[in-house]
A and B are shown apart, each in its own frame.
Chain A
Amino acid sequence: MKKVIMGNHALSYGAMLSRAQVIAAYPITPQTQVVELLSEMCADGTLDAKFVKVESEHSAMAASIGASAAGARAFTATSAQGLALMHEMLHWASGGRHPVVLGNINRALAPGWSIWTDQNDSLSQRDTGWMQYYCSSNQEVLDTVIQAFKVSEALMIPSMVVLDAFVLSHTYEVADIPSQEAVDAYLPPFKPEMRLTPSDPHAFGGLTSPEHYFEFRYKLQKDMEKAPDLIEKTGIEFEKAFGRKLGLVDEYLTDDAELILVTSGTVGLTARVAIDALRKEGIKAGNLRMRVFRPFPFKTVRNILKKAARVAVIDRNVSYGHHGIFYEEVKSALYGKGKGPVVHGFITGLGGRDVTVDFIKDIAAQALAKKKADAEIVWIGVKI
Chain B
Amino acid sequence: MKLTTWLERKEEMKKKKAPKIVFTSVDEMPIMAMSTGSQSHNLTGAWRNIKPVINLEGCIRCGICWKFCPEPSIEIVDEYPVIDYDYCKGCGICAEECPTKCIVMVEEKK
Contacts and interface: CB of A to CB of B under 8 A. Distances in A.
A265 interface: no
Interface residues of A, number: 22
Interface in A208-223: 208, 212, 215-216, 218-220, 223
Given A199-B6, A201-B6, A212 B33 contact: yes
Contact of A216 (B5, B33, B36): B33
A351 to B, nearest CB: 38
Contact of A203 (B3, B29, B31, B34): B34
B26 to A, nearest CB: 4
A339 interface: no
A54 to B, nearest CB: 23
B29 A97 contact: no
Nearest to A195: B34
A206 interface: yes
Contact of A212 (B5, B29, B31): B29
A156 interface: yes
B35 interface: yes
> A interface, by DSSP: helix, strand, loop or mixed?
loop
Interface string B3-25: 10110010000000000000100
Given A215-B23, A215-B26, A156 B31 contact: yes
A194 B29 contact: no
B30 interface: yes
A320 interface: no
B110 to A, nearest CB: 29
Contacts of A200: 3, 5-6
B77 interface: no
A113 interface: no
Contact of B32 (A199, A201, A205): A205
B92 to A, nearest CB: 27
Given A200-B6, A201-B6, A208 B26 contact: no
Given A194-B34, A203-B34, A215 B29 contact: yes
Contact of A205 (B5, B26, B33): B33
B30 A194 contact: yes
A95 B34 CA distance: 12
Contact of A97 (B32, B35, B36): B32
B32 A202 contact: no
A27 interface: no
Nearest to A219: B31
A295 to B, nearest CB: 17
A194 B34 CA distance: 9
Nearest to B39: A203
In this complex, the member of A95, A194, A201, A202 whose beta carbon has the largest number of chain B beta carbons within 10 angstroms is A202
Given A200-B5, A200-B6, A201-B6, A216 B31 contact: yes
A96 B3 CA distance: 17
A98 to B, nearest CB: 8
Contacts of B36: 202
Nearest to B36: A202
B11 to A, nearest CB: 14
A156 B34 CA distance: 14
B27 to A, nearest CB: 9
B50 to A, nearest CB: 28
A205 B19 CA distance: 21
B35 A194 contact: no
A219 B29 contact: yes
Contacts of B26: 215, 218-219
Contacts of A156: 31-32
Nearest to A214: B26
B35 A216 contact: no
B30 A208 contact: no
A204 B33 contact: yes
Contacts of B23: 212, 215
Nearest to A194: B34
13 contacts: A95-B32, A96-B32, A97-B32, A156-B31, A194-B32, A199-B6, A204-B32, A204-B35, A205-B33, A206-B35, A208-B33, A212-B23, A223-B31
The 4 closest A-B pairs by CB, nearest first: A203-B35, A97-B32, A215-B26, A208-B33
Interface of B: 3, 5-6, 9, 23, 26, 29-36
